Amino acid sequence: MLVLDTELDAKIAQADSLSAGLSRLRESDHAAMLYRRDQHSVDMMSHAIQMIEKLESLPADNPTHIAVRARLSQKFRRVDDLIIQRLAEIDERIVAASESAATLSGAAVFTRQAYIKSLYSIRNQVLETMVDVIPARESLGIHSGEFREQAELTLFHHAERLVALLELSTAASLELARQRGLTPSDPSFLYAQTELQNQHETELAQLISITEALERLDVDTTSYRATIVKQRGVLSADLFKKDILKNIALEYWESVRATLGARSADVILNTLVILLILFAALWLSRFARRATNAALQRLNTTVSKLHKDILVSTSGVVIMGLGVLLALGQMGISLGPMLAGLGIAGFIVGFALQDSLANFAAGGMILIYRPFDVDDYVEVAGEIGLVKKMSLVTTTIHTFDNQTLVIPNNKIWGSVIKNVTAQRTLRVDLVFGITKV
């Protein structure tokens, strides 16, 4: 304990020495030394809190306990003023650095951004230390009710500021994505998007830190936890907490109500148009199926049943797909970037599903060359039976012992296909036994 007390005196002396030497520094070194002094201050207070925790393990009548407790009580009586002063100074330096960053260019911009980020980091450390100091002061018998209220108010202001900044950065990201959809080739949008994403991650990390500090003061942080879950955009354990889930649901409901109240007529009309497009596409797809089927029935040319089924199915799918695209356009979704994204996603999925695409290609070859048709008696991939159904991926065969086999088209096209019913005339080999009388 005496060793820790000596170390604390050394840390206090270092912090005082740094503060005294600030006036003799050049302006270029002043900011760096202030940052270093703040680090020493945080380290000093953390060391003092550690001493208080170890002090509790000593008997109350122990001479060392009494002496160290008296010294720490004296040091901790004014620590609240020191913390508030440090926070105010750091906030002023953040504002000054942010304003000067707008006038810089080149490498100086990145240097100033790194400096601002370090100031945010040291401020979070001071805020966390402020929370740790409260139970330490109370364990020394120092009344901390006013300091606790001030700490809660300070953390509340920082949390509200970060929530507002996160909502603004989210809105800015949405607007940027909309503008980028209009001019996707502009490289400045990519740079701006990266900057917004980095800013969003920094603000979210700060909000998480401050929320945890508020929870250590037994402050209700349900609304902040709900904001964190929404801004993260990924599943987390907090989402399944009843209060947080309720808060998120209420916020979304209020947002929907506000939107409907302000634009109810437009929303209703737009919804009706979208439903009308989808119903029209559904009706046209069914009509296209029937019309295609009737046209194929009237054709004099020989068209296999497999070709008819595929053509009928494809005609309906194409019409329905066009209807869905029109509905998405009516919803305000830009189709150009979406189709480009689908192309990239299709390439990735195609690479991952090579076997399925091989079946798809084999199905196309079977449809082109028509080695068999529905109800043909065939032997394919080592199996014998009647062809009952075929898609571009698989072929369904019923065996004579009433089994249903679903065979991938890749296996069928890659093996010998024997079609027994393809010819009207077949040779039948019969073996007779002759008994000599």
Average pLDDT over residues 150-157: 88
Q: What's residue 237's pLDDT?
A: 47
Residues 6+ apart with CB under 8 A from 319: 281, 284, 285, 288
11 confidence band (pLDDT: 50, 70, 90): low
18 confidence band (pLDDT: 50, 70, 90): low
Asked whether the beta carbons of 76 and 140 are under 8 A apart, the reply is: yes
Domain ranges of the chain: 2-257, 264-352, 370-422
Quick one: DSSP state of residue 106? T
3-class secondary structure, 384: strand
Quick one: DSSP state of residue 240? G
For the domain bounded by 264-352, which CATH number is listed?
A: 1.10.287
235 confidence band (pLDDT: 50, 70, 90): very low
Average pLDDT over residues 195-220: 85
The CATH T-level fold of domain 370-422 is SH3 type barrels. (2.30.30)
Pairing of strands 377-380, 383-390: antiparallel
Q: What's residue 186's pLDDT?
A: 66
Q: Is the pLDDT of residue 2 over 50?
A: no
What average pLDDT does the structure give for the chain? 76
Q: What's residue 301's pLDDT?
A: 58
Residues 6+ apart with CB under 8 A from 417: 371, 372, 378, 379, 380
Asked whether the beta carbons of 45 and 8 are under 8 A apart, the reply is: no
Average pLDDT over residues 407-432: 83
Whole-number Cα distances in Å, 139 to 56, 142, 288: 9, 7, 81
Q: Alpha-carbon torsion 323, 328, 334, 336, what sign?
A: negative
Q: Which helix (H) or strand (E) holds 92?
A: helix 79-101
Distance CA 331, CA 269 (A): 11
Q: What's residue 89's pLDDT?
A: 85
370-422 and 264-352 share a CATH fold: no
Model confidence pLDDT, tens digit, residues 325-377: 888 777 766 666 656 656 665 665 555 566 777 777 888 788 777 788 888 88
- Share of residues in the chain with pLDDT > 90 (%): 1
Q: Is the pLDDT of residue 199 over 60?
A: yes
Higher pLDDT, residue 33 or 93: 93
Average pLDDT over residues 7-16: 62
